Chains A and B, each alone.
Chain A
Amino acid sequence: EPEVTQTPSHQVTQMGQEVILRCVPISNHLYFYWYRQILGQKVEFLVSFYNNEISEKSEIFDDQFSVERPDGSNFTLKIRSTKLEDSAMYFCASSEETGSYGYTFGSGTRLTVV
């Protein structure tokens, strides 16, 4: 079964450093997403991406965050200057078509900011 692949599975970074979280969506999917889950809390939507641009973003997704599809396979989330409160599990997801049908999540990257 096709999978969404995220790397690394765990990343530790110092406060103020830039991090890039990487995702390889399912190959024929057109819509890409990032979500995050702070420890013990609910999963929260960050951003959706379609046709090489952001289609929707939440209040969490401020100027410190950016997304990019640098080539035909990768989808990245960059945090420019990490804060302690950015520590969370970050999930990438993709879907084949519009609407929530066929959403597939990756296994997540646990980001720890120290």
Chain B
Amino acid sequence: AQSVTQPDIHITVSEGASLELRCNYSYGATPYLFWYVQSPGQGLQLLLKYFSGDTLVQGIKGFEAEFKRSQSSFNLRKPSVHWSDAAEYFCAVGGYNAGNMLTFGGGTRLMVKP
């Protein structure tokens, strides 16, 4: 069965500092990997996704993520965090399977200090 683990429930960083959010997945075949961001009371906005090819993917709002198959990880990074980045971040895994379901991690809540 597919699963996603986001080890950090809460992270606090100072504005302008770098950020890395961790994501580990378990999936029996070639994974499709996603990062979504959710502001309070809002929907899910896709930051970036990985299917194949270059293991470093660029997304919106200056985010990037690196797929490391050997570590079953897909960590999200941003070199300089802005106060508007405060939100909840969800990693998800899916694939080429019946039902095409996505499995989400528990999320990481990011707080940004001024």
Contact = CB atoms under 8 A, between A and B. Distances in A.
B100 A31 contact: yes
B58 interface: no
11 contacts: A42-B104, A42-B106, A45-B102, A48-B100, A48-B101, A91-B43, A100-B95, A101-B49, A105-B44, A107-B42, A107-B43
Main secondary structure, interface of A, reads strand
SS of B interface (majority) = loop
Nearest to A104: B46
Interface residues of A, number: 26
Interface string A102-114: 0111111010000
Interface of B: 32, 34, 36, 41-44, 46, 49, 51, 90, 92, 94-107
A22 B104 CA distance: 23
A108 B43 contact: yes
Nearest to A41: B106
